[in-house]
Amino acid sequence: DIQMTQSPSSLSASVGDRVTITCRASQNINGFVNWYQQKPGKAPELLIYSASALQSGVPSRFRGIGSGTEFTLTITSLQPEDFATYYCQQSFSTLFTFGPGTKVDMK
Amino acid sequence: QVHLQESGPGLVKPSQTLSLTCTVSGGSIRSGNYYWSWIRQPAGKGLEWIGRIFLTGSTLYNPSLKSRVNISLDTSKNQIYLKMTSLTAADTAVYYCARDREQVFLDSWGQGALVTVSS
């Protein structure tokens, strides 16, 4: 299995802050990483696919970059609706695996 | 826009079999190059991919669950099914179905169905 790790596991931030989350894969997965946002009691929603492509309808303040084993999700200016948990997921292998999540809460 | 809705029993006894249904509306599961995945999430924990099915009936399962899981579909009903046998408390989770774009990403999710395994 390809293992995915995320850092930090949680962070506190304020509206307007720039937030960066890192995801690392246990092997080279090229650009096969997706990012999801999950709010309490809700299903995850796709934000970014293939490392850097913005899903339709997702605000441009969400940016993804990376290749190989290290990937980042950046929120350029945190908005109130962005407080949530973020997961990365690899699709290099057809056996999907997810990172453990990063919870972004209010400072 | 496609909509997915999971349904099934909220409570299942240990050692019994879980059966969940994912009903798709707003689009046919026969159209497009879509797969259909199941994912679960224990309370307060992360996401675990269970497996997927293609409209041909071809399936792929998480090796850790493969011996207990079966995914099937009925194109006439636009439904996807999950069966999981020999349940234990560790299977207590919210179970999601999702549209799987060419085994690359999950772009539409159901709201989830909470399944509790308890006697």
Distances from the Cα of A82 to the Cαs of A40, B31, B93, B109, in angstroms? 12, 33, 25, 19
Q: pLDDT by residue (tens digit) across B58-102?
A: 999 999 999 999 999 999 999 999 999 999 999 999 999 999 998
What is the C-alpha to C-alpha distance for residues A101 and B30, in angstroms, rounded to an integer? 33
pLDDT tier, B110 (very low <50, low <70, confident <90, very high otherwise):
very high
Those residues with Cβ within 8 angstroms of residue A63's Cβ, 6 or more apart along the chain or in another chain? A48, A52, A54, A73, A74, A75, A76
Are B6 and B82 spatial neighbours (Cβ–Cβ below 8 Å)?
no
Q: What percent of chain A has pLDDT over 90?
A: 100
B47 → chain A, closest CA residue: A98
Q: pLDDT by residue (tens digit) across B54-65?
A: 999 999 999 999
Give the gap in angstroms from C-alpha A52 to the nearest C-alpha of chain B: 13
Q: Is the pLDDT of residue B33 over 90?
A: no
Q: Do B103 and A87 touch (CB under 8 A)?
A: no
Partners of residue B105 on adjacent β-strands: B101
The first and second tokens of residue A70, run together, are: 């290290």
Whether B11 and chain A come into contact, CB under 8 Å, resolves to no
Which H/E stretch holds residue B81?
strand B79-84
β-pairing, B59-61 vs A4-7, is unpaired
Looking up tokens 């690392």, which residue turns up? A24
Alpha carbon B84 to its chain centroid, in Å, reads: 10
The closest alpha carbon to B112, from B97, B99, B101, belongs to B97
Which residues 27-56 of A are in CB contact (within 8 Å) with B?
A: 32, 34, 36, 42-46, 49-50, 55
